[in-house]
Structure 1
Amino acid sequence: MLWREFFYTAATNNPNFDRMEGNPICVQIPWDHNPEALAKWAEGRTGFPWIDAIMTQLRQEGWIHHLARHAVACFLTRGDLWISWE
């Protein structure tokens, strides 16, 4: 419940809390626009076995562990690809 209240409070005080543009408390990151890399990530063809295995499991089973979700999200955004989640 603590996280719910934290995000509720943060969103109440910042109408653009859920997006980067127009959000004064968000660092403006120069994201890469690379549709080919995004497609490889989604298809599990990045060349990184751990990431590819997670994305393959997600496609096949429709579910991945929360730590695996964190790993693929970090890889997509600030880990290797620098592609915006938005």
Structure 2
Amino acid sequence: MSGWDGVKERITRQDVSEYKREILEQTVLVATPEAASILGCSERTVLRLVRDGEVHAYGRHKGGKGLRLLASELREYVQSIKIDKDAWRV
């Protein structure tokens, strides 16, 4: 594969796998029970996070039934609540 500047770039299988994973994370929707499992909390907590605007939900119905959450947004939420170990004091 060659770029506009004439430099050839090799694409490895690992590059392709990482790209596929990226695309999947950006498009995969998970149900509320799966989101609860990923976050290690109850479905009620997931619904509260949606209601409070912490994470976005997708679906045609209001309420908890049929809601889906993007896997990538769940990952971003988890990263946002990560505690800095140097700032943590007991």
Give the alignment's TM-score, normalised by structure 1: 0.27
Larger Rg: 2
Whose helix fraction is larger, Structure 1's or Structure 2's? 1
- Whichever structure has more strand as a proportion of its residues is 2
- When normalised by structure 2's length, the TM-score is 0.26
